[in-house]
A = this chain, B = another copy of it.
Amino acid sequence: MITTTDPRTAETTETGIEATTTDQVAEITTLATAAFRVISGRSREWRAGLLDAVADGLESRREELVSTADAETGLGFPRLNGELTRSVFQLRLFATAVRDGGFLEATIDHAGDTPMGPGPDVRRLLIPIGPVAVFGSSNFPFAFSVAGGDTASALAAGCPVVLKAHGSHPLTSVRSLDAMATAATAYGAPEGTLGIVFGTEAGATLVADPRIKAVGFTGSLSGGQALMEIVANRPEPIPFYGELSSLNPLIITDGAATARAEEIAQGLFTSFTASAGQLCTKPGVAFVPRGEAGERLIAGLVSRVNDAGGQALLNERIFDSFSAIEQRLISDGHATVEATGTSDGAGFTIAPRLLSIDAVDMTPEVTEEAFGPLLVVARYGDLAELDLGLAQIPQSLTTTIHNEPDEAELVSRLVEQVSPQAGRLVFNGYPTGVRVSWAQHHGGPWPATNSQHTSVGVSAIRRFLRPFAWQDAPEAVLPEELRDGYTGVPRRVDGTLALAG
């Protein structure tokens, strides 16, 4: 029996949901395969309408979903209402992208002479890859879970989705799925368009299932690596898109500290404690210049952390892991405690922490991702010390630079230095609060992600598509987007890009 736990009290109750058996997983993926054949034959407009319908389905059950999620995650109504808004917005944005059709990369080369002789007519489109398994994360019960970006992008690509519900919020998962699937069915989607499995074993079975053609995963490095091993042992390897672990260093220049110590202290405090520090883009280390300005900035952080109340972590595993990392850092002398908030110790509640080190003493212990409200300030005396510290930082989703306009040369040097290590560079802001938009990239070099793809933003759809070419095909066989005279999507024809008409 699957249970659910209130992180504010650590009280566990039964959900009435049973762990999915191996046979049930096979039934669900078989249905998804049948649904794939049906959906593949539907138009882009139909698919866009499905995304809109699913968005409406979530919106119509907002109150129930948000209160369920609050009880299971302790993240609070404002954050969870915002997150559901984000999920709904994401589905609608992806519907817009499906209608736009640019993501299809429609390309036509008419038959013609080439230096190698006559060339045939070749037409290319990205087509859906097949049923996709999506693993919900603990920290976003909506936006990176059942109703999240992986689901939205797989559906936008034209792929049915089988969700693996996260054990931290099973009721939110099953109710989100119900809201979405009910809306999908009412819209006319085939059974099997959206499915869900519960339990760790069912998740492993799902990834090994030959009917599953791609996996989207947001979670821990160890969890991701376990699934990657299952993928590697499949007779047919499939793409695995993992968003795994990230330290997200933040660099504050002398100029920025001098000009904006107080403002940065406020922003940085908010960023590393938001959602109890359980965001994959949480800044884990901040490089602060030695001297009066830097100390002013640190003092601003110290007073805020000292005043901060306790925050409930999502589950026991995160609570234990956070406590162990914190303990190791402090008792083993890897870092010095600068400030500690207060905590009543109820459930999985912990106190926010501010630690510090010298940048030159950066160790692997300090650079381990601590999922929770903990920030390590790394003091640097000069650029040589900053370089030594930066050299120890693992590759991340993001790197952030705070600077002043008159430090252009320094910024250019820093950008060159940190760009190879990150997927997104943030200037004079904070890496948390990932905008869902066309240009967004949420990914980065290993171990941030294992891929050259993003899990946020419109181009996330690309992960669940594969290229397909038709050579000298009769018109009736071609998707309408590849027929001569069609003007509904941007296309590259004989090498020249043309906008939709």
Interface residues of A (CB under 8 A from B): 82, 85-86, 89, 96, 100, 102, 105, 107-109, 114-116, 119-120, 122-124, 127, 129-130, 228, 232, 236-237, 239, 405, 408, 411-412, 415, 419-420, 422-429, 435-441, 443, 445-447, 450-454, 457, 459, 465-474, 476-477, 490, 492, 494-495, 497-499
Contacts and interface: CB of A to CB of B under 8 A. Distances in A.
Contacts of A499: 497-499
A469 B412 contact: no
Contact of A452 (B102, B425, B467): B467
Given A102-B497, A411-B474, A474-B408, A467 B492 contact: no
Given A423-B468, A467-B459, A499-B499, A122 B474 contact: no
B419 A468 contact: yes
A107 B441 CA distance: 10
A468 B441 contact: yes
Contacts of A473: 425, 427
Nearest to A492: B438
Contacts of A495: 96, 100, 438
12 contacts: A82-B116, A109-B437, A114-B437, A122-B437, A129-B452, A405-B474, A408-B476, A411-B474, A423-B469, A427-B472, A445-B466, A452-B467
A446 B236 contact: yes
Nearest to A466: B452
Contacts of A435: 109, 114, 119-120, 122
Contact of A429 (B428, B465, B472): B472
A62 to B, nearest CB: 13
Given A109-B438, A469-B423, A120 B476 contact: no
A405 B425 CA distance: 55
Contacts of A228: 237
Contacts of A419: 127, 468
Contacts of A405: 474
A477 B115 contact: no
A120 B435 CA distance: 7
A383 to B, nearest CB: 18
A471 B426 contact: yes
A239 B439 contact: no
A114 to B, nearest CB: 7
A454 B476 contact: no
A109 B440 contact: yes
A119 B476 CA distance: 44
Contacts of A426: 120, 471-472
Contacts of A120: 426, 429, 435
A435 B405 CA distance: 51
B123 A439 contact: yes
Contacts of A453: 467
A334 to B, nearest CB: 22
A228 B236 CA distance: 13
A35 B445 CA distance: 20
Contacts of A441: 124, 467-469
Given A119-B437, A420-B130, A105 B471 contact: no
A28 B467 CA distance: 34
B412 A472 contact: no
A439 B497 contact: no
B408 A467 contact: no
A85 B115 contact: yes
A42 to B, nearest CB: 14
Contacts of A490: 497
Given A96-B495, A425-B477, A429-B472, 9 more contacts: A114-B436, A119-B435, A122-B435, A122-B440, A124-B440, A124-B459, A426-B472, A427-B474, A438-B492
A307 to B, nearest CB: 25
B96 A439 contact: no
Nearest to A126: B452
Nearest to A234: B446
